[in-house]
Structures are given as C-alpha cells and as structure tokens.
Chains A and B, each alone.
Chain A
Amino acid sequence: MLEARLAEAAILKRLLDSIKELVTDANFECNEEGINLQAMDNSHVALVSVKLSASGFKKYRCDRPLPLGVNLGSFTKVLKCAKDDDVCIIKAADDADILSLTYEARNSDRIAEYEMKLMDIDADTLNIPDTDYDARVSMPSAEFTRIVRDLSQLGESVRIEVSKEGVRFISDGEAANGNILLRQTDDDAPPEGVTIEMNQHVNLTFSLKYLVNFAKSSTLSNVVQLMLSNDVPLLVSYDFNQGHIRYYLAPKIGD
C-alpha cells in the first residue's frame, strides 16, 4: 500500500499543471524511494520525467512497487479542490483501482476527502542514458519563461546558440525576428545570475510550443538548467526541495 503525506498540496498542483498539456495518462510509479513519473507525449517529441523523493514527504510509506495509472486531467480537477497550503495525503491499497486524497486545512478543522479512479496504463519505461552535455546553462526560471514566451510571438522555432559570447536565443519569424543574448553574470550566481559552462559550441533549433509548455515549471523552482549537445535532445531541468522535473525535447533537424 501507499500512504504519502505532503506538507503542501501546492507542489502536486504545480506539477500537474506542468505536465497535463504534454501527457494525457501516465503511471505514477511508487516505491520505497519515492514517486516517479516518466511519460512521452503522443508525437514522441518530448518526454517528461518527475521525481518526488520519499524524504520530501512529511510521512511516506510504500511497501512494494505500485504503479498508479492516472488520467492527468482528472487528477488536475481533484487537486484543484485543494488549497495550496492544505496538507495533502494520498493513499492507495495494493491492487486497488482507487486513489484516495485527503486535504487537511492548515488553520481550521476542515478535512476534505476525494477518490479518483485509477487505470491500467501499458507504457514502456525508457532508459535515459547519462550524457556529457557540451553546454550547461543555468538561469533564473522567470527569465527563461519570458524569453520563450516573447519569441513564441514571432515564430514557431527558436535557435539556441551557446558560444564564448554567451547563450543566444534566436527566432526568425516570417514577419519579424529577434534574438536575446544572455552573458554569464560574473558577480551574480544562480538563482539571480546566469552561469554558462561550455566544452563545445552548440547550435540547435527547437519548437517554442514545447518550451513554453515546459516553462510552466517555473512555479516549482527559481532556477532552470538547460543542457545541450549538438544533435541530441535538449534537457530542461527544474530542481526543487522534494525532487525534480526534467523535460527532454528532440531538436528540429535538416534545412
């Protein structure tokens, strides 16, 4: 069985907001180390990977590995019934087809109980190889959100170029183009500053639609890391106290 007590429902609410438009149904894989989710979008262009560590919960018990197949739309609706600062307890019995959620109000005696149907989801688990990326950029997550939202007004794609100069985001739309250069901030470390590590010049093009979607995770962390190597998927990573959310995005190819 699973019993997990989360100090604030906000974390789960924000996580669901970060993935619900990318993936419809997914397994939350629970084991004694915590809860993991890995899912690819229908078009096999993006993959999201979430980890919530057992140590991030006020109380956590999972006797044996338990996949909780969830419709993310339904889960989002049930979580909307929780206030951000409610304590959130999720429970599931072994082989059960129901997930129960309890929201305990912080400053009153209100206790709300909800149940959600679980589903069998037959999804392959993918092996994500460890990659030595050619470039690693760390920046304020709000800055990344602004850049991808701004450029998505102009065109469908962004070219990300990492060089000695810094990291440049370039959009070349039909009617307008734009580019934003971020230089490494020498006097300011993350979360406020920008750090750039580069072994090799990187030049890759990505769909802005996906990046705008990923940027929703800025509610979970003040810092985002972009990991890039030529011709391999981009890794966009947000770390927070209880775990992380990582997105992989296949680059656009050819001319």
Chain B
Amino acid sequence: SKQQGRLDGFFSVK
C-alpha cells in the first residue's frame, strides 16, 4: 500500500 509522504523537500526554510 502507499506510504504517507512528507512536506519536507517541497517547502524551504526562509
């Protein structure tokens, strides 16, 4: 089954 992805990597720290 599919695994839950994370937001890290999509948004960079300002």
Contacts and interface: CB of A to CB of B under 8 A. Distances in A.
Contacts of A43: 4, 6
B4 A126 contact: no
A70 to B, nearest CB: 20
B13 A250 contact: no
A157 B11 contact: no
A72 interface: no
Interface residues of A, number: 24
Interface in A107-159: 124-129, 157
B14 A252 contact: no
A250 B11 contact: no
A interface: dominant SS? loop
Contacts of A127: 11-14
A254 B1 CA distance: 7
Residue with the highest number of chain B CB atoms closer than 10 Å, among A44, A125, A205: A44
Contact of A47 (B2, B11, B13, B14): B11
Contacts of A250: 4-7, 10
Interface string A217-255: 000000000000000110000000000000010111111
A45 B12 contact: no
A253 B6 CA distance: 10
A88 interface: no
A46 interface: yes
Contacts of A100: none
Interface of B: 1-8, 10-14
